[in-house]
Structure 1
């Protein structure tokens, strides 16, 4: 059965998130699930350790209704703590380990976290702000020094407990699995409420979409996926995948696409501590990776790495990108490097758990350059006027992207007004500007908040960024608006050059010749790099600050 086109609706087993790991452990057992340096965890070992961690939490009085913050980088302790938290009935709340102290204090206090898992290099940051939060228990991976009051070493905390799964009553529609904070690229983060049902559904939507599979349960009632699509159409094969992962597990794309989905797929995830393009390519060749995934910033660095163009990467079957749009030149360059390999872009946000729209993952499907694809099963899209309104715009007209589906959040934590503004009759107003074509493919034009107003005209920075990146001597670009009392906002570009002979005047002239007068760039600033978040999103607020300074 080729399973093409993919079904528009699926049946999702009514199980909590812990069932994803339980089903994977029973199915894949001794296969390596996660590897980091010279250490690794099999699927079965991950499940046993997560159950011990869950029982250790419960012994400390942490369980249903409590929030556990994971203040960790990617490491082998992460899946143990993540699934252990959920198996205990508690709620997982990810925290970027590089958050400044005040931001970390705000997030943990806002979440109401009672326990936190941290790591040696940043454990003292957490300790310094604990008195501003409800955290009473701090579990430290690789503590750097003597433990303080209320702190315990990670392995010691859980190693002596039972590896039997605790018996916890979880309401999958109401109990939160994730309390995930928005990326904060436009301001202070908000807590996004995601019940167990959302996480299981979105993981299944994503896994089944890329494998040509359907959800199922094993003989114990644990969730699995059953691959129906044949290898001629669906190159990704269940139980065989190998991937290097640099996407932070504290980010939505990491938690779903690089943690839960590989468990369903039976894939092996290999962690790197930091991104060294040459080392990444060497490992990809050595390990015979089957997929390369990450944000556009990763692919930009790989394309600039000489080894990337000469290494034997013939094992790669698919390339996946998310977190931010790929520019057209990057897609063309990857197609040239990997002829015949599926390049799959997706679109989502924390408020839809992770993903809502992904390019089709079977060979005969249409994948359009510049489009992020089609809605996942049971997901709807409509485009409404960016100025406000709920009525769908005609096909081909740009406006705000609205999404509806079982993966959409239940709301923002303790933010009723913002929840009411974002969720209207079940539709999530994303704040992104997009357009649907006649085939139902979505293209993202820009962020609504990034859109500029020049003399009443809408100017979309991404259009200018796409033009800049095609010009000789430009390796990266970002466009923001500079406030102007007479015209509103002036488009200004920050550009990374790979040729010092390229001048601002040349770039201004080249872009100006290809756009309407009101869209022309008014200034160009050359920089060494474009600031991005840990998830690979351009931090345009940082660029606006530079303009203000």
Structure 2
């Protein structure tokens, strides 16, 4: 038996030509009354989610929203989210996720670029949306969990679709051409750009990930909707279909969230409890009480759980699978998790929005070999090659360090209205990721560096250029550079080096940090600022950031 391929599970899958809504339709037919998602005292079964999503889709259709339109979901994780998500896709419209914590300028830019005509928001975030509406094409605003009075012209989310019919909309969706996701990811300058993903991209990547994690293959039920057939044994795959229980903190506006924490749990029949914030004590209490079988998230989640006193005392013997993505999981963390969760398989993965979500993952079957420090092997029908980071398309020899390139049916066709950036990223179907990696003799990929200056803070992309430009706009700053300080819990902490402008000797680090941090999302905030007399510059005039990293106190 191969260390990467267990008996019976093919390395190439047959992907049915169905739209994303078929994931939920198949789940509702198979798992019916089993709870799909719960939050607080409320819950949605797979069947209830299906009926509510159909109502929302029909309500959109009654307002003229359908193919060619874009619906922005500006929500935190809540029970309204999967209704809006699946309902949008069942109506034939495209879904664009918007972080509810986005500053007004960034939200306006995303809504305008996507051309969204409907926005689903919540009471806590509706004020920001309302302030930028006139700069967008949005004409319908729906508010879930409103606080006080609704904004002028807005409609309460539940009231919008409550009276609509719950029959499945009759639409002929071209799964290869119809846009399903318009997901925004950062660029090298911090300016977000939209990744265009069809229904087929979303279905394919959900199947790649779910089949690999559960020892199953795609199938269609008697209604022609998507299901999985279990072919692997419970001895090999620790969480059989229809038995999983999980707690989710991964935001659904993130690529890992929408595929691995929403579509995949629906397809595999999970019951998921939503937590709206990281409270390690509450998380561990629920994990014990609910007999959670899977724990998944970014490395920051595991660092927080391990730091909690309850981590050593709670009964976590039910946990059979631990998945991690969005940033490398420290080897020291893997060691602790293995000791504390001896019944669990610990599997890392790697991907990015441009590949829908995932491209590489560690074996999730018990007899598979997992190599700490690597992110695993390619998913079904996925290829990885390493090329010279300085340019070129020829694969480097095994063990060489270079830029990671990916090819497979989950790779995006391109960026939204960005032909030049698309051409730079995609060459003959190969996506140039900008990440530096190594593939070993067994095909395991390690991510060792980044070609770009991108930092990863708790799984979120932080672009130094954005922070540098904000610093440079301050009168007290003559020059600035931002680098990352490695941090086991967070990944990397943004640290600034600043040269004061003449006449501003009294400028303080605290004041500059406060000014910049007020303008960005919490995860982008500077954690340190150091004044220097000058920045190290190369002969070509570029700032030598490696020397700044060496100067970190």
Q: Give the structure-1-normalised TM-score.
A: 0.84
1:47 aligns with 2:47: no
Once residues 205 and 420 of structure 1 are traced to their aligned partners in structure 2, the CA distance between those partners, rounded to angstroms, is 26
Aligned residue in 1 for 2:366: 363
Select which of 351, 354, 362 maps to 2:354: 351
Select which of 143, 161, 166 maps to 1:163: 166
Q: Displacement, 1:449?
A: 1.1
Select which of 126, 137, 141 maps to 1:123: 126
> In the TM superposition, what are the counterparts of 1:98-113 in structure 2 within 5 Å?
98-113=101-116
The question of whether the paired residues in 2 share the 8 Å contact of 1:396 and 1:437 is answered with yes
Aligned residue in 2 for 1:64: 67
What do the CA deviations read for 1:453-476 (whole angstroms, capped 9, x no partner)? xxxxxxxx99xx9xxxxxxxxxxx
Q: Displacement, 1:143?
A: 1.8
The question of whether the paired residues in 2 share the 8 Å contact of 1:209 and 1:361 is answered with yes
Aligned residue in 2 for 1:213: 216
Select which of 291, 299, 314 maps to 1:288: 291
Q: Displacement, 1:249?
A: 0.6
Question: Residue 117 of structure 1 aligns to a residue in which SS?
Answer: strand
The question of whether the paired residues in 1 share the 8 Å contact of 2:387 and 2:405 is answered with yes
What do the CA deviations read for 1:295-316 (whole angstroms, capped 9, x no partner)? 0000010111110111000000
Select which of 233, 238, 243 maps to 2:236: 233
1:264 aligns with 2:264: no
> In the TM superposition, what are the counterparts of 1:169-248 in structure 2 within 5 Å?
169-183=172-186, 187-248=190-251
Question: Residue 125 of structure 2 aligns to a residue in which SS?
Answer: helix
Q: Displacement, 1:184?
A: 5.9
Q: Displacement, 1:493?
A: 3.4
CA separation of 1:174 and 1:167: change in aligned 2, threshold 3 A = same
Aligned residue in 2 for 1:512: none
Q: Displacement, 1:479?
A: 13
Q: Displacement, 1:85?
A: 0.2
> In the TM superposition, what are the counterparts of 1:442-461 in structure 2 within 5 Å?
442-450=445-453
CA separation of 1:287 and 1:178: change in aligned 2, threshold 3 A = same
Once residues 165 and 240 of structure 1 are traced to their aligned partners in structure 2, the CA distance between those partners, rounded to angstroms, is 27
The question of whether the paired residues in 2 share the 8 Å contact of 1:3 and 1:228 is answered with no
Q: Displacement, 1:335?
A: 1.1
CA separation of 1:262 and 1:494: change in aligned 2, threshold 3 A = closer
The question of whether the paired residues in 1 share the 8 Å contact of 2:43 and 2:79 is answered with yes
The question of whether the paired residues in 2 share the 8 Å contact of 1:480 and 1:543 is answered with no
Once residues 352 and 115 of structure 2 are traced to their aligned partners in structure 1, the CA distance between those partners, rounded to angstroms, is 23
Aligned residue in 2 for 1:509: none
What do the CA deviations read for 1:491-529 (whole angstroms, capped 9, x no partner)? 8736689xxxxxxxxxxxxxxxxxxxxxxxxxxxxx9xx
Aligned residue in 2 for 1:381: 384
The question of whether the paired residues in 1 share the 8 Å contact of 2:9 and 2:231 is answered with no
1:434 aligns with 2:437: yes
Q: Displacement, 1:168?
A: 1.1
1:493 aligns with 2:493: no
Q: Displacement, 1:542?
A: 4.0
CA separation of 1:9 and 1:386: change in aligned 2, threshold 3 A = same
Question: Residue 180 of structure 1 aligns to a residue in which SS?
Answer: strand
Q: Displacement, 1:21?
A: 0.3
The question of whether the paired residues in 1 share the 8 Å contact of 2:73 and 2:119 is answered with yes
Once residues 255 and 320 of structure 2 are traced to their aligned partners in structure 1, the CA distance between those partners, rounded to angstroms, is 24
Gaps of 5+ in 1: 452-460, 466-477, 484-488, 498-526
What do the CA deviations read for 1:286-343 (whole angstroms, capped 9, x no partner)? 0000011000000010111110111000000010000111111111111111124210
The question of whether the paired residues in 2 share the 8 Å contact of 1:320 and 1:345 is answered with yes
Select which of 77, 81, 89 maps to 2:84: 81
Q: What is the RMSD computed on CA atoms of the aligned residues?
A: 2.9
CA separation of 1:34 and 1:408: change in aligned 2, threshold 3 A = same
Once residues 23 and 542 of structure 1 are traced to their aligned partners in structure 2, the CA distance between those partners, rounded to angstroms, is 46
CA separation of 1:344 and 1:413: change in aligned 2, threshold 3 A = same
The question of whether the paired residues in 1 share the 8 Å contact of 2:8 and 2:232 is answered with no
Aligned residue in 1 for 2:254: 251
CA separation of 1:31 and 1:435: change in aligned 2, threshold 3 A = same
Once residues 102 and 329 of structure 1 are traced to their aligned partners in structure 2, the CA distance between those partners, rounded to angstroms, is 40
Q: Displacement, 1:188?
A: 1.2
CA separation of 1:414 and 1:281: change in aligned 2, threshold 3 A = same
Aligned residue in 2 for 1:425: 428
CA separation of 1:258 and 1:392: change in aligned 2, threshold 3 A = same
> In the TM superposition, what are the counterparts of 1:479-490 in structure 2 within 5 Å?
none
Select which of 15, 26, 29 maps to 1:23: 26
Once residues 163 and 490 of structure 1 are traced to their aligned partners in structure 2, the CA distance between those partners, rounded to angstroms, is 52
What do the CA deviations read for 1:109-145 (whole angstroms, capped 9, x no partner)? 0000000000001111101100000000001002223
The question of whether the paired residues in 2 share the 8 Å contact of 1:480 and 1:544 is answered with no
Deviates more, 1:330-339 or 1:25-34: 330-339
CA separation of 1:335 and 1:381: change in aligned 2, threshold 3 A = same
Once residues 186 and 383 of structure 2 are traced to their aligned partners in structure 1, the CA distance between those partners, rounded to angstroms, is 24
What do the CA deviations read for 1:217-258 (whole angstroms, capped 9, x no partner)? 000000100010001111111100000000001101010001
Question: Residue 369 of structure 1 aligns to a residue in which SS?
Answer: coil
Q: Displacement, 1:58?
A: 0.6
Q: Give the structure-2-normalised TM-score.
A: 0.83
Once residues 76 and 378 of structure 1 are traced to their aligned partners in structure 2, the CA distance between those partners, rounded to angstroms, is 33
1:150 aligns with 2:153: yes
